[in-house]
Amino acid sequence: MTKSATKTSKTEPAARRAAGEALRLDNQLCFALYAASGLVTRAYRPLLEPLGLTYPQYLAMMALWERAPRTVKDLGQALDLDSGTLTPLLKRLETAGFVTRRRDAEDERRVQVELTAAGEALRERAAEVPAALACQLHLPLDQIVGLRATLQDLARRLR
């Protein structure tokens, strides 16, 4: 066997091992984020069920509690959702009596989303949700705040 053949056969398993490690599911940031996101969303389910909200509806309501009325476009940008995803979500919130949608008088291409009295009243009940979720995470508050800041920074960099 030549020197180069010997060298290749010795390094090949090391290269294969390195490639294998790089492709291990547990070593992937994307999988850690995906798994954690799914578990956090599931943890919200029993907290939001009494409010009559799904997790995406809860996010939309929080954005509207921050500022309403808002255009569908503005709401989509705030939530990072396209109109194809947002429109059915808003229809369900409207059917539930939490929001109304109407064409903008100045520009009929724009649709304004407003909270109803029931949607406003829901804010008070929803105010307990963040603390209830924090209790389920079993993390100190400073760690939760740090994790959120890290994820917000990651999202900013990816945009």
- Domains annotated for the chain, with CATH where assigned, are 41-127 (1.10.10.10)
Specify the DSSP element, H or E, that contains 114.
Answer: strand 111-115
Cα–Cα distance between 37 and 131 in angstroms, integer?
Answer: 18
pLDDT digits (tens, 9 = 90+) for 28-65: 999 999 999 999 999 999 999 999 999 999 999 999 99
Nearest to 126 by CA among 141, 115, 114: 115
The string of pLDDT tens digits covering residues 98-109 is 999 999 888 889
> Which is nearest to 101 in space by CA: 87, 116, 113?
113
- How many Cβ atoms sit within 10 Å of the Cβ of residue 66? 9
